[in-house]
Structure 1
């Protein structure tokens, strides 16, 4: 039997600048958003055009606010409402961790709706290109979770080659579920989204790619939750179901509905030339 791996002790702070500190957690979000916007600038120009590169650049601020505000408020409301009501100042302490993907997703959806209305874009066509890059941020975020030694997995058989003992646990080997999520919600889902986005027949059907992302993420999250230890303050629901799995079910249903709707709606012709020149 191979020896059980010990979790490598990473410093959660990458660089110190006097009283200021840059944490891996923050760097992961920044890297995911900035890299994602660069990819988005190319995707929106693919036929039929959904926006302009300049508008994709402008969306950087909108999506950042959507992720941070939605992710934090989602965590507060979905996971620990009583605790944050008792200690409201902790709501803004995002550097301590605590971001909900499902809340962040709602925040980004609201940002896309407002942005699309502001610039006269087809919301679903724009959402298709945005959701194609979301797995990049998810992958970076899960790697940051691993570096922080948080959101570890359930007990694993000691014979599992990558079973790992995490700090703050009882010393028994566990699944590195953060890496499972980085590979499935991040790398695998990003690959699927890129392959699908390259197909013009899917880009011409507004909502299909967004639906594919929602359904794909929901399935990946439900699978990974089978290896991830639920938060201690939540535990398991009846039949061993977790909160992450419960919140993923509506995403799968919404994704399926979007894909169905996409192929029963008119073909998207692309951003009108007058709108394109106006926003260029």
Structure 2
């Protein structure tokens, strides 16, 4: 280990150094707006615009969509609350329960970071179910639209993780051209795993879902939900092989990480949704 550190130290001038990003994007007097907050805002706004386009395009549904753009406009507040509350609760329960049990008031300090995608996803599910039943909108179709736009927020969120210099990757071979030394990650080069996840969970998953939508997936309600859940689970597990696990948890059973464990039920549920959707007739009510 000592030899590795000494050898790496001689290569540090040749390695990529983490850019000196300022995590604060804008200062408006006493109010500091961080890139991470802008990522959430941007993901919601861009996802909302893309969802409206999907809903308006009748050929994707084989006729009028089972909801209107005005319905989705009203849904935005519901899903935003679901993402924030679910993401925070998920982080508290899955990643740092003992700490928050001892410091319960810090659960409210969202500005100090700490969000879980899997918790946010469950929050979205709750928002879809509640809003769908309240408005009498098919919940599977509403879920399909929500999942179709999800990778936009994932992409921006992972880029914000990179800007913040957080959630960096495991140690990488110094000869890897894009190995990077992170200020808070010690002297050894690491994988920029935030960018790997941005590519897999954001760009690749968005392309897969867009192709499926163009191929008529919205005509089988629940199919996009299944593809998203399966695709995200596989992408997250792949990314976890390069990502340093949270220090308060470390590696769990058999070298697994919490992100891997939480992604397995998503894959199982996603495959079940895909199977059910393929057996369902086109445009069958849900």
TM tier, shorter chain?
A: over 0.9
Listed as ranges, the matches of 1:17-56 within 5 Å are: 17-47=28-58, 48=61, 49-56=65-72
Listed as ranges, the matches of 1:54-203 within 5 Å are: 54-200=70-216, 202-203=217-218
Farther off after superposition, 47-56 or 261-270: 261-270
Q: Does 1:225 align with 2:240?
A: yes
Which stretches of structure 1, 4 residues or more, deviate above 3 A after TM superposition? none
The 1-side partners of 2:66 and 2:224 are apart by 13
The counterpart of 2:252, out of the listed 237, 242, 262, is 237
Q: Is there any run of 5+ residues in structure 2 with no aligned partner, and where?
A: 1-10
> Deviation at 1:46?
3.2
> Deviation at 1:269?
5.5
The counterpart of 1:3, out of the listed 2, 6, 14, is 14
The 1-side partners of 2:33 and 2:102 are apart by 29
Q: Taking structure 2 as the reference length, what is the TM-score of the superposition?
A: 0.91
The 1-side partners of 2:118 and 2:253 are apart by 21
Q: Taking structure 1 as the reference length, what is the TM-score of the superposition?
A: 0.93
The residue number in structure 2 matching 1:274 is none
The 1-side partners of 2:40 and 2:277 are apart by 31
Q: Is there any run of 5+ residues in structure 1 with no aligned partner, and where?
A: 272-280
Question: 1:156-212: per-residue Cα shift (whole Å, max 9, x none)?
Answer: 001111100001222100000000000100011001111111122x21111111000
The 2-side partners of 1:265 and 1:204 are apart by 10
Q: How many residues align?
A: 270
Root-mean-square deviation over aligned CA pairs:
1.4
The 1-side partners of 2:211 and 2:74 are apart by 26
The 2-side partners of 1:35 and 1:13 are apart by 21
